Amino acid sequence: MAKKKACETCGTKDKTVETMLDPMTTALYPEDTDHDEMTLCPPCATARFEES
């Protein structure tokens, strides 16, 4: 079974925490392909997206 990941913003460990491309830079620069990967829970991913 896959180990649960920890959100790098709030530290939550849950199966909903995912490694994804940085939601903020992908929102700001959708054409770029060199976004950082971040491990985030859905609320933090949404919060980061809304900061952009």
Q: Contact residues for Zn ion (CB under 5 A)?
A: 7, 9-10, 12, 41, 44
Mode of pairing for the β-strands spanning 37-40 and 18-21: antiparallel
- Residue with Cβ nearer Zn ion (9 or 26): 9
Name the CA radius of gyration of the chain, rounded.
11
CA dihedral 4, 9, 11, 15 (to 10 degrees): -30
CB of 4 to Zn ion, least distance (A): 13
- Residue with Cβ nearer Zn ion (24 or 41): 41
CB of 44 to Zn ion, least distance (A): 3
